[in-house]
A and B are shown apart, each in its own frame.
Chain A
Amino acid sequence: MAHKDRLSSFEEFDAKLEKLSARGSSPRGERRWGGRALSQGMQAGIDILVGLVGGVLIGFGLDDWFGTRPLFLIVFFVFGSAAGIRNALRDLRRAGSPEAGTPPEDAETRSKGEDGE
């Protein structure tokens, strides 16, 4: 008798589990995605900031060294910012795609480029 009771409770439990996991799956997935998006946004910001500040610092350093105050500062400000944006773009594009690493449109243009060389 007790054995039978336990069996039915297992079945009940299975049904309950199924119902719960069916209900819980979508909102939880969404929330996790929100967290990822937030952290990705933060990453991109830090990438750009590092590029900009890094470029300016390199420019200042080289100018001090060669005594050409605004020249390298301007050049590396531009290059540094571009490098920062490049990093942010690359991290975002990769982390954002489901099969990160080789986003489809990226892989295509790349293989084309290699053929051309």
Chain B
Amino acid sequence: MASPLEQFQIEPIVPITVGHIDLSFTNSSLWMAISAAAVYALVMAGTRHHALVPGRLQTLVEIAYEFVAEMVRENTGKEGMRFFPAIFTLFMFILTGNFLGIIPGAFTFTSHIIVTFFMAICVFLGVTAVGFWMHGVRFLLFFVPPGAPKLMLPIMVPIEILSYFFRPVSHSIRLFVNMMAGHTMLKVFAGFIVAMGVFGVLPLSVNVALTGFEFIVALLQAYVFTVLTCLYLHDGIHMH
């Protein structure tokens, strides 16, 4: 029986090495490319007709647009809409990646911490850059909690700085853990189906429920990742 963790194995499809660096096009890269292409195709196909009464595809794209636009407006304010394209792209990419990962045999790239960590670091660096861009050096005052007694500052400032640097870590772990745990569970129960013979109907029904649950998790985790991005962006734009 295959190990439940085998599905996370990275396999090079087109091996490329530059010097000592392995830049192979892997199954992970393949599914990222598929995901990006799927998002692009969906949005392009959905907005092609500009129909006043939207068809199915256009409705789907409009729902996605409004969902993310509302999220950005709610969590970062009007100024945040400037960054809407980046956040919409992030959300659609993660969501599509999560959903595509449910297809049996597909690779879930969001279940790898390096992928989610890279996205979180991009958000972190981007938000920090936005903060310095909008507030200049005054952005450093973000680490000084307003209204705190001066005596407490030597304790509170290091805590604020540490918590700021921990954010991309927890940001990335959240998505990766949820995706990995879900897919491992699916595989474990799938293994029981074969092992239990006739009584495999029981784990099979569990797996059906888990697959449904995975759909919720896929949407929820894409949402959580994006909402947190919006909240961090809020800090960069407004400080506090």
Contacts and interface: CB of A to CB of B under 8 A. Distances in A.
A101 B74 CA distance: 8
Contacts of B216: 35
Interface stretch (B1-9, B165-173, B198-206): B165-173
A39 interface: yes
Interface string A26-65: 0000000001000100110011011100110010000000
A80 B159 CA distance: 7
B187 interface: no
B228 to A, nearest CB: 7
Nearest to A47: B170
Given A54-B169, A87-B167, A110 B162 contact: no
B239 to A, nearest CB: 10
B-side interface mostly: helix
Contacts of B231: 91, 94-95, 100-101
Interface string B165-185: 011011001100110000000
Interface string A70-85: 0000000001101110
A99 B76 CA distance: 10
Contacts, number: 84
A34 B227 CA distance: 17
Contacts of A55: 162
Contact of A114 (B146, B169, B174): B146
A29 to B, nearest CB: 16
A83 B75 contact: no
Given A35-B216, A95-B231, A50 B170 contact: yes
A109 B224 contact: no
Given A35-B220, A94-B231, A51 B163 contact: yes
Band of interface residues on B: 20 to 34
A110 B240 contact: yes
Given A94-B231, A114-B146, A84 B177 contact: no
Contacts of A58: 162
A43 B174 contact: yes
B227 A95 contact: yes
B12 interface: no
Nearest to B173: A46
Given A43-B174, A79-B158, A100-B231, 14 more contacts: A43-B224, A46-B177, A47-B166, A51-B163, A51-B166, A87-B170, A95-B227, A99-B74, A101-B75, A101-B238, A102-B238, A113-B146, A116-B147, A117-B146
Interface of B: 74-77, 145-148, 158-160, 162-163, 166-167, 169-170, 173-174, 177-178, 216, 220-221, 224, 227-228, 231, 234, 238, 240
13 contacts: A39-B220, A39-B224, A43-B170, A46-B170, A51-B166, A58-B162, A79-B162, A94-B75, A99-B74, A100-B227, A101-B238, A110-B240, A113-B145
